[in-house]
Amino acid sequence: MQIYNSMSRKKEEFKPIHPGKVNIYACGPTVYNYFHIGNARPFITFDVLRRQLEREGYEVTFVQNFTDIDDKMIRRANEEGITVKELGERFIKEYFIDAAALGVRKATVHPKATEHIQEIIDLVSKLIENGHAYATPSGDVYYRVSAFPGYGKLSGQNVEDREMGASERLDVETEKEAPADFTLWKAQKPGEPAWESPWGMGRPGWHIECSAMSMKYLGETFDIHCGGKDLLFPHHENEIAQSEGATGKPFVNYWMHNGFINVDNQKMSKSLNNFFTVRDISKEYDLEAVRLFMLSAHYRSPINFSRDQIEAANASLNRLYTARDNLAFQQENGEERPLNGEEEAFVVRLKEYEAKFDAAMDDDLNTADALGAIFELVKDANVVVQAGVAKEAAAKALISLKAICDVLGILTRENDDLTDEVRQMVAERAEARKNKDWKRSDELRDAIRAAGYILEDTKQGQKVRKSQEG
């Protein structure tokens, strides 16, 4: 697999530290609200990365954290009159609901910052001991950026850039040695949650949480760290400084960052009223279609979220489900016979489509081209199904289609999902058609459609599937 490494700014062949095993850390949400459509893109992208690596035989340890202590969380908890812990637990539950609806699998480990306070304190203490950090009289602890010569190697931003961004805050951060220094530990303010530490009651800074949690579960040097492009600086830059400053070892071998999402060709922002949570979107759109839309462009490219784009993705999803259901129907009802020459050639082409899919995925996770291979398979399968393909060929096509769609996390709904009521109507309609009672047949067809199912009359009989219309 070739991966574009944000550190080297080029594609590199992926070579894991431990043969056959891959360790990945993905930055997770700050749990003070439902996550938004911009958050959804890295969750989906790196879920697919994990799935493809597993398809290739790797044992993947995938860690995605929850930031459950943060200024935004404190503000919202105070507004609602609840504890930060209660707020965090509520939105962690909501995260799993929305992530599951998007087809995002649970991580191997979902560490919470508040459950790793000791690891964070130990890491901060080590940085103070080796001169990379310093405590202030008020109980804050800062990272000494000047002590880390490699600062800026990921983002390309140097210390001067950081100082320019920090200059406007000098009046409230007078205990800093330099404007570029950043917070590792924050002294407690009245009414804030806090933990005991060698520097007094306080709480961790955001950046140090990820360093402590990733190294606990994946080691001091691990394979892949990923997240949105917006995290590249300062968050990931600061993680490198903290981690390498503490251990003296390379922190991560490959850095992966996904591109931004625009909404109707505009940058997403609350002021433009185009800031949507996934929960909002689920009320109007099928989230599986949203996932397919996200994968229709290369993960490093910007992508434009719009109604037209989602409707196009939904139409594509319907094509996939129709092809799958047709194959399943043919597998059940087709002829039980040896394959003819055309069918044998079709089975050979199935492996070619899978190889084309894998080649695209191994080219820096090119999901757009991988989808192209899937639709080539579907187009070919539709032709052979129309010709009345043998059961065995239909079964092999179904296996190939499901295998590569599973990597993208799509086509996951069961096709045998008829309710008892719909089954009864389908059986009754078959009887009505047998008796040439066309009026009753039409009434039942309309009732089946109203129940959310699509019914098709084919030469093999009635075919029914759940509508995917959003």
Neighbours of 96 (CB within 10 A): 13
DSSP label at residue 104 = P
Name the DSSP letter for residue 260.
P
In degrees and rounded to multiples of 5, residue 6 shows phi and psi of: -60, -25
pLDDT at 417: 63
* pLDDT of res. 165: 44
Residue 457: pLDDT band (50, 70, 90) is confident
- And the tokens for 52? 């493809």
pLDDT of 461 reads 63
Evaluate whether the domain defined by 315-408 bears CATH number 1.20.120.640: yes
Instruction: Check residue 452 and give its pLDDT.
Output: 82
More confident residue, 302 or 420: 302
Contact, 449 vs 435, CB < 8 A?
no
What is the fold, at CATH topology level, of the domain defined by 16-129+206-295? Rossmann fold (3.40.50)
Average pLDDT of every residue of the chain: 92
Question: Which candidate, 418, 444, 419, 420, places its Cα nearest to that of 433?
Answer: 444
CB-based contact 222:214 (threshold 8 Å): yes
> In this model, does residue 145 exceed pLDDT 70?
yes
CA atoms within 13 A on the CB side of 416: 3
Beta bridge partners of 26: 64, 226
pLDDT score, position 131:
98
pLDDT at 170: 40
Name the helix (H) or strand (E) containing 105: none
Q: What are phi and psi of 409, to 5 degrees?
A: 75, 30
Relative to beta strand 266-267, strand 303-305 is unpaired
In 243-337, which ranges are E strands? 252-258, 261-263, 266-267, 303-305
The residue among 305, 295, 312, 235 whose CA lies nearest residue 263 is 305
378 closest CA partner among 324, 314, 454, 456: 324
Nearest CA to 11 out of 363, 448, 378, 397 is that of: 363
Q: In whole angstroms, how far apart are CA 277 and each of 38, 45, 77, 305, 385? A: 9, 17, 19, 13, 40
pLDDT of residue 174: 66
Average pLDDT value for residue range 63-75: 96
In sequence order, which residues have a C-beta less than 8 Å from that of residue 62 and are 6 or more positions away? 24, 26, 46, 50, 107, 108, 109
Q: Is the pLDDT at 164 greater than 60, yes or no?
A: no
Average pLDDT rounded to a whole number, residues 84-95? 98
pLDDT of residue 100: 96
Give the end-to-end CA distance of the chain in Å, rounded to a whole number. Answer: 36
pLDDT of residue 421: 85
* Stretch 423-447: mean pLDDT: 87
Q: Using pLDDT thresholds of 50, 70 and 90, give the confidence band for residue 161.
A: low
Residue 470's pLDDT band, with cuts at 50, 70 and 90, is very low
- The pLDDT of 79-92, averaged and rounded, is 97
Phi, psi of 454 (to 5 degrees): -105, 130
Element containing residue 204 per DSSP (H, E): strand 202-204
pLDDT digits (tens, 9 = 90+) for 2-18: 999 999 999 999 999 99
